[in-house]
Structure 1
Amino acid sequence: MKVVNARLRGQAALYTVTCEDGTFAAITEQSETVSAQDADIDASGNLLCAPFVEPHIHLDAVLTAGQPRWNMSGTLFEGIDCWSERKPMLTHDDVQQRVLKTVELLLANGVQHIRTHVDVTDPNLVALKAINALRPKLEPYLDLQIVAFPQEGILSFPNGKQLMESAIEHGADVIGGIPHFEFTREYGVESMRWVVDLAQKHDKLVDVHCDEIDDGASRFLEVLATAALETGMGSKVTASHTTAMHSYNNAYCSKLFRLLKMSKINFVSCPTESLHLQGRFDSYPKIRGITRVKEIRDAGMNICFAEDSIQDPWYTLGNGKLLRVLDSGLHSCHMMGYDDMSTGLDLITDNGAKTLNIADRYGIDVGKPANFIILEGFDDVDVIRRQGDVLWSVREAKVLTCRKPSLLTQSVCLTD
């Protein structure tokens, strides 16, 4: 396979990208536009980049909005209640059909790497077993990581610890947690240390729903980061959401950042979801409820964006388009300056790969797997501005999806 007339991120020239045996064999700068041969992909000056990474989604809950009832308050907590009522209705087939429909949507929008949180506060682990069983079917198209996510707590849910350990036996790759939802602060602190110890024991990654609440007194992030630092697990640990950081005072945050940088943990922000769920207990002024994305990034720490939900009890929209999430995040986090936008795609590509610990086999480099997408636009800013389609998605030099740019068949011309 050969791609001609491609733009690469951070480069002004056009390039020819040659793939052999499923890997990138050569990346060659062109002196001018070249004619594509029959078997070539002509990028036509559009941007070729690494595939999108979805580092935080709940595939077990997708496409369940309104079942058995709607989340009328729009709060995180009513969403959990709605899901608790939907959970007993789960079946193997129900989960798999919804997951496959959603994965098709994600693949069509350039995603090839997914980390899904799966609720394991279910004595039968129905969703976990169903999603794990899909691995052989999904493997040719994407990388899948499964998080053992204790939606209703570890210490606060009957046999919570045993269910987490059982989840590992049934295929979980990552250990999750939800300290701010535990009954007491003491439970939350204990759960964080237990999660890190469990992950270290089984050589697993960690990804915790951490401080996803508007309570400025919710400070489990410091506990998680300290455990990551003390165990040396740093880069294998992710703090998702951390929306309480929006409510921390700046003096505390300054102290906290020292620890966070030392710990080397990763962060995931879900801007569309956080804008929707947070600030529900405010009158006015209403907080945005998004973690300090720009400040974390400017401090040199790794942070990425995720969609989180697609039509579930917490978020009734969602369409698998990470460019939409990126656009929302850049706006809401005051990151519309050129420096932030010119590297904006990092938030849904490279940074996500670092979070998933797959950076060694991710990216547009000779010798790496020939996984890439082609986007409408010639650089990060142009792609973000256009909010266009993913024109091609290719995995190991095999085409997964291909679409033509939208065609305007009639328009009004007001200029000469």
Structure 2
Amino acid sequence: MVFDLIIRNASLPDGRTGVDIACDKGYIACLEPNISAEAVEVIDAHSMLVSPPFVDSHFHLDATLSLGRPRLNRSGTLLEGIALWGELKPLQSVEEIVARALRYCDLAVSQGLLAIRTHVDVSDQDLKTVEALLQVRDKVKDYIDLQLVAFPQDGVFRAKGADEHLLRALDMGVDVVGGIPHYERTMADGARSVRWLCEVAAERGLQVDMHCDESDDPLSRHIETLAYETQRLGLHGRVAGSHLTSMHSMDNYFVSKLMSLMAEAGVQAIANPLINIMLQGRHDTYPKRRGQTRVRELRDAGISVAFGSDCVMDPWYSLGSADMLEVASMGLHVGQLSSREDMRWCFDAVTEIPARIMGLEGYGLKKGKKADMVLLQAHDPIEAIRMKPNRLAVIRAGKVISQMERRVAHLALSDRPALLDPTDYRPQE
């Protein structure tokens, strides 16, 4: 038999080495050492890491790459970012949003990021962002799994008509119900929004992903309401709370109760390390809070926790590069996840775990799964997080859709090697 593609001598995230991966008709047909077959295309991995694609379970594609338009966020704060986004919305066209989003998708492919859950602002009557990202979802469907969340950025009850706009967005084909309860006018309205949005999701058979308690206020406890409504409506495994930063300020007794409720309801958590380390704690002098939710504690309580990137070059965050390994690295550092097991888990938090949260079908490096994968210039997940390596090959449905050259330095030093490969520096084990 002649396969479409064979990757030979690969290392896998689970520690296996010397593995061949044969791809046929868009799927993994065989995954074992020394496959004795031919292929139309053969890639020698040279013992480098082959990973399933990176997954970003929390992003804002409608605002990405808009940095500087109509002005810069001078304070760098969350609230100025929201105000700036409000200034940009009436100025931008559907065509502009589509063009920016597609440029970002090109960048994502080059980084091996082939699945994105993006929140789409549905606060305005014209729903330009929804129209634009529905077009983008269709344009990139052959190489990126793009999941859209109906997100009422200005509050589903705070902004006039936002509840109606959200329902229209879902009718247009948006995939997931979103919310932002801590931005409603009162705590009571926030709780009311969680209840209504979960009821909408239950009625329509949809997933839920809410911006929840993105605040330093320990009394912002909408995640408790989200866990309750998940349990009440039987939405187990279909609900995620994103950000959850108020948990870093809550007392430990309440958090212990809260995590138990989340685990019981099957509520999942998505932390956004780059953004929250930048935006949270702005009212603190010293000591200054880290900003990230309690990643280790949530994980250890049996809750699925993923890392998202949130923003790249937009009103809230002027940096970013679509590199989920940068996100994993920040999450690792902020969460002090420094054991070997913890660091390997951080790699899972930008691959396997968000894929499960999004419900991606056919994801993973197993026989019968989709032939989507990334060849990295690294030997293992920890080295990948440390090095942020080149993506030597990005593969979708068994076809190479992006390639990079190996990163090698040419040295001109007396009595030293002429070439330096950064992967030569490895721990002694």
Bin for the TM-score computed over the shorter chain: over 0.9
Q: Percent identity?
A: 37
Judge conservation of contact 2:17–2:47 (CA < 8 Å) in 1.
no
**Aligned residue in 1 for 2:291:** 289
Distance 1:294 1:414 in 2: 46
Aligned mates of 1:202, 1:24 — CA distance in 2: 34
- Say whether 1:399 aligns with 2:403: no
Q: Give the SS at the match of 1:13.
A: coil
Does the alignment pair 1:271 with 2:267?
no
> Given the alignment, which residue of 195, 201, 204 partners 1:202?
204
Contact 2:275 2:311 (8 Å CA) reproduced: yes
Q: Deviations over 1:73-92 (max 9, x none)?
A: 22111110011011111211
TM-score using structure 2 length: 0.93
Aligned length: 413
Q: Relative to 1, partners in 2 of residues 1:184 and 1:45: Cα closer, same or farther, differing over 3 Å?
A: same
Residue 108 of structure 2 is aligned to residue 98 of structure 1:
no
The answer on whether the counterparts of 1:74 and 1:280 sit within 8 Å (CA) in structure 2 is no
Aligned partner of 1:376: which letter?
Q
Partner of 1:226: 228
- The alpha carbon displacement at 1:136 in A equals 2.5
Preserved CA contact (<8 Å) 2:260 2:301: no
Structure-to-structure mapping, 1:177-188, within 5 angstroms: 177-188=179-190
Shift of 1:29: 2.0
Corresponding residue for 1:245? 247
Cα separation, 2, equivalents of 1:74 and 1:330:
23
Looking at structure 2, the residues matched to 90 and 356 of structure 1 have their Cα atoms a distance apart, in angstroms, of: 29
Note the residue ranges of structure 2 that are not aligned, 5 or more in a row: 418-429
Deviations along 1:129-151, one digit per CA (max 9) or x if unpaired, are 01102222111111111000000
For residues 204 and 113 of structure 2, the distance between their equivalents in structure 1, rounded to whole angstroms, comes to 28
Secondary structure at the residue paired with 1:130?
helix
Measure, in 1, the Cα distance between the counterparts of 2:233 and 2:38. Answer: 53
Match 2:191 to one of 177, 180, 189: 189
Report the equivalent of 2:316.
Answer: 314
**Deviation at 1:35?**
12
Unaligned runs of at least 5 residues, structure 1 = none
Matches within 5 A, 1:48-63: 48-63=50-65
Closer, same or farther: CA 170–39 of 1 in aligned 2, 3 Å: same
- Name whichever of 64-73 and 240-249 sits farther off: 64-73
Q: TM-score, normalised by structure 1?
A: 0.96
How far, CA to CA, are the matches of 2:14 and 2:229 in structure 1?
Answer: 37
Q: Deviations over 1:306-331 (max 9, x none)?
A: 11001011001111111111111100
1:103 to partner: Cα distance:
0.7
Residues 310-362 of structure 1: per-residue CA shift (max 9 Å, x gap):
1011001111111111111100101011110133210100011011011x411
Matched residue, 1:176: 178
Q: Judge conservation of contact 1:14–1:45 (CA < 8 Å) in 2.
A: yes
Q: Which residue of 1 aligns with 2:363?
A: 362
Specify the code of the residue in structure 2 equivalent to 1:2. I
Q: Select which of 3, 9, 34 maps to 2:7.
A: 3
Question: C-alpha root-mean-square deviation of aligned residues, in Å?
Answer: 1.7
Report the Cα distance in structure 1 between the residues aligned to 2:31 and 2:16, rounded to whole angstroms. Answer: 14
Over 3 Å counting, the alpha-carbon distance change for 1:412 and 1:129 in structure 2 is same
Deviations 1:201-240 (A, max 9, x none): 1111110000001111100000001111121212111100
